[in-house]
Amino acid sequence: MARISKQERQAQAEAANPFIDPTISIQKLSKDLQDSAHTLSDDEARFLVDYFYISQRNRIRFDGQVRAMNETGEPHMLLQWMGDAASVFEKQIEKALDKYTDSHPVGRWIKKQHGFAAILAAGFLAYLDIERAPSAGHFWAYAGFDPTRKWEEGQLRPHNPKLKTLCFKAGDVQLKMAGFENNYYGKLINERLAYEWERNFTPGSKAEFDAIDARDGLNDVRKYGTTTEAWAWVNGCYKREDIRKRVLSGQSVAATELTKLKLKPGEGDPMLPPAQMLGRARRYGIKIFLSHLHEVWYETTFKCRVPKPFVIEHMGHVHRIAVPHYDSPYAGDEPSKVFHVLKHDGGTEEAFFEDLGEMAVGEVILLSRYSPEIQQMFIDGRVVGFTLVQKGNKKFAERTSEELPRLMQ
């Protein structure tokens, strides 16, 4: 049966049942959403992002059921209406979140990146908080990209699973958009993928040791099931040179394409499976995006140069990947030295001042992170060794001497 357009389906539905109009109540709601979208709170934006993906899954499921029932000639008017309603919800939510991101300078920067539309931009704005992230590493950790953070039994999850899913979706979109000339992060992921494959083909590389660990179940690496294709890769069922030729020539390395090359375990070379190569490259690209997002957001919020990345400040690296579509107004300034008292979270005043003692002269803290009582102490000049600094609409307390921080009576 020939496929028909959504408009034709709606016309058929109205002709068959004039009492069903999937657009009436939803269209009335969309006006209210769009008018108030620029004032959405982060909690409201998070809800809308979550609901968008729920509605999208429902619409895909309903449309699939309608197609299947079309082929068998079964009645499906209600399912068709539900699919159309879900589609309208998607569009209205996207319009609302488009206005929400337009009202934020960082949201506008995100949408300048090819492949990042309103939903992804709103998700990153809503889930991340620059005032709790003195470095890009805090964004990485919250998104689940810190391998040192283990989720132990009986403990709270050390990252946000919804943000991690959002990062996966963003990476997936970038890979699909990598062929466009103005795409940046998708091309970055593909470059990293080529690098990861090269490491996979190199004897004695970390990739080979990771494959051996995966084969033997060492170093907390999960064991693959013996019936999986990943098991065949880490157990040396393929020769390194055979796979290298296929990858370099652009041929598929799917299991169905490798049946003639497959050997008995141990006759080939242990390698990491293709899905793991892709996952590594995708994580790399999204971590670079999060670093760039942190730089733009930090400078937009605090009106000063972002601190140097850890690998440049402490590990001797010198190359820095420039942020696309962004000219820093603070490029010539000294990197910021904002100090976040991360250990203090509603604790005692004594603990707060003990944490302040870890600051170096010249470092500052952002006062809006703390209670009005603590803010007022610095504003009144009652904290020994500190002075109030105003940058834009943000108030900071700068440590000006090595004297032990304490409260003047």
- Assigned domain for 99 exists: yes
- Assigned domain for 38 exists: yes
And the tokens for 316?
A: 């001797």
Query: Among 253, 270, 287, where does a domain finish?
Result: 270
pLDDT for the residue numbered 370 = 77
pLDDT for the residue numbered 344 = 45
- Assigned domain for 285 exists: no
**Residues in contact with 325: Cβ distance below 8 Å, sequence separation at least 6, in sequence order:** 109, 112, 113
- Exposure on the CB side of residue 399, measured as CA atoms within 13 A: 23
Residue type, 390: Q
- List the 394-399 sheet strands across, edge first: 364-366, 394-399, 386-391
- Assigned domain for 356 exists: yes
pTM value is 0.79
Helix axes 206-216, 185-200, angle to 10 degrees: 70
**What is the total count of domains within the chain?**
3
Query: Among 241, 270, 299, where does a domain finish?
Result: 270
Q: Mapping DSSP to helix (H, G, I), strand (E, B) and coil, where does residue 179 land?
A: coil
- Assigned domain for 34 exists: yes
Specify whether 255 is located in the same domain as 342.
no
**Which residue matches tokens 């099931």?**
225
Query: Among 252, 270, 288, where does a domain finish?
Result: 270
- Assigned domain for 169 exists: no
- Assigned domain for 150 exists: no
Specify whether 11 is located in the same domain as 94.
yes
Specify whether 266 is located in the same domain as 342.
no
Those residues of the chain that have pLDDT short of 70 are: 1-35, 216-222, 333-350, 409
pLDDT for the residue numbered 343 = 44
- Assigned domain for 156 exists: no
Its domain, for residue 47, covers: 6-103
